[in-house]
């Protein structure tokens, strides 16, 4: 039996099987690659300006089963309410319970009744074009990879290496440390969730900087930090001790490659660096 779970942004979850809605099939289209080309007047071919990933089609086939024939219309109305499209929500497929897709219903649909049954199809649009892990790196740092919690599973790129389970580091100047991105999608804080917390900074007299040597990205604070300061890069927002802090930074941001990323801190003696982010999958 295939099961599908809906998860709303407020944390509410709905097990569709418990609601009388069985999943017959869950079909995810291939990644929607959007190529950008430019033409050179008088030249040959085109210039490749890169590729992005557009939204994905997700077709799910359901069977609704009511208690009796008169109750079918009540179940139908409940289905319409569950799949309301005013706001996006997450779909979780039972075959990959550690991943979720941010979706909206794309087309209208109907549920023809056959006795107490009704087969129907809903076409969703996967808004981000990629799936994301339900758990984040801080779940791994705190609990490890617990197979019984269904946050993690096969095909999620995880490594059975102790270092890959550490996402809070006591960094020391002159030494590098590594952060593992188990997904197969690069993480850009303007497009994906990425939270970096810097605290317990010792020996910062002019500024502070953290650099990802794997891809060359960095984040620099233009003023000295004390051991009492907590600087948070949360997406495109930067705060120090819960107050806006962007103007005192270089306005540059750390990005993550898939796999291992090598980091180093500068302009201080030591600092605690905390990474919290989900993994993303094409």
Q: pLDDT 10s digit of each residue in the chain, 282 long?
A: 568 999 999 999 999 999 999 999 999 999 999 999 998 888 889 999 999 999 999 999 999 999 999 999 999 999 999 999 899 999 999 999 999 999 999 999 999 999 999 999 999 999 999 999 999 999 999 999 976 778 998 889 999 789 999 999 999 999 999 999 999 999 999 999 999 999 999 999 999 999 999 999 999 999 999 999 999 999 999 999 999 999 999 999 999 999 999 999 999 999 999 999 999 999
Contact 128, 185 (CB under 8 A): no
The DSSP bridge partners found for residue 156 are none
Q: Which class would CATH give 4-133?
A: mainly beta
Q: Residue 129: helix, strand or coil by DSSP?
A: coil
Q: Which residues contact 36 (CB under 8 A, 6 or more apart)?
A: 48, 49, 50, 51, 52
Q: Is the pTM of the predicted complex or chain greater than 0.85?
A: yes
Which tokens sit at 228? 């009492």
Domain residues of the chain, as ranges?
A: 4-133, 157-281
In the block, residue with structure tokens 């593992």: 180
> Could you tell me if 247 and 229 are in contact, meaning their C-beta atoms sit under 8 angstroms apart?
no
Q: Give the span between the Cα atoms of 152 and 107, in whole angstroms.
A: 32
Q: Which CATH code for domain 157-281?
A: 2.60.120
The backbone torsions φ and ψ at residue 96, rounded to the nearest 5 degrees and listed phi first, read: -135, 70
């Amino acid at each position: 039996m295939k099961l599908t779970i809906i998860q709303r942004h407020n944390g509410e979850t709905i097990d569709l099987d418990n609601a009388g809605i069985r999943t017959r099939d869950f079909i995810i289209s291939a990644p929607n690659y959007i190529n950008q080309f430019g033409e050179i007047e008088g030249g040959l071919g085109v210039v490749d300006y890169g590729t992005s990933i557009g939204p994905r089609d997700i077709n799910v086939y359901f069977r609704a089963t009511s208690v009796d024939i008169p109750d079918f219309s009540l179940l139908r109305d409940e289905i319409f309410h569950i799949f309301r499209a005013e706001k996006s929500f997450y779909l979780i497929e039972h075959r990959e319970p550690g991943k979720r897709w941010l979706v909206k219903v794309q087309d209208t649909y109907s549920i023809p009744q056959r006795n107490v049954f009704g087969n129907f199809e809903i076409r969703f649009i996967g808004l981000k074009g990629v799936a994301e892990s339900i758990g984040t790196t801080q779940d791994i740092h705190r609990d490890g990879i617990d197979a019984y919690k269904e946050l993690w599973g096969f095909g999620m790129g995880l490594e059975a290496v102790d270092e890959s389970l550490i996402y809070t580091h006591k960094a020391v100047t002159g030494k590098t440390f590594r952060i593992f991105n188990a997904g197969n999608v690069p993480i850009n804080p303007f497009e994906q969730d990425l939270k970096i917390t810097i605290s317990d900074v010792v020996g910062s007299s002019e500024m502070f900087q953290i650099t990802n040597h794997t891809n060359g990205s960095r984040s620099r604070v233009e003023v000295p930090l004390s051991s009492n300061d907590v600087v948070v890069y949360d997406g495109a927002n930067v705060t120090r001790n819960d107050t806006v802090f962007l103007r005192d930074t270089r306005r540059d941001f750390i990005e993550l490659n898939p796999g291992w990323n090598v980091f180093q801190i500068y302009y201080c003696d030591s600092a605690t660096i905390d990474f919290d982010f989900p993994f993303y999958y094409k």
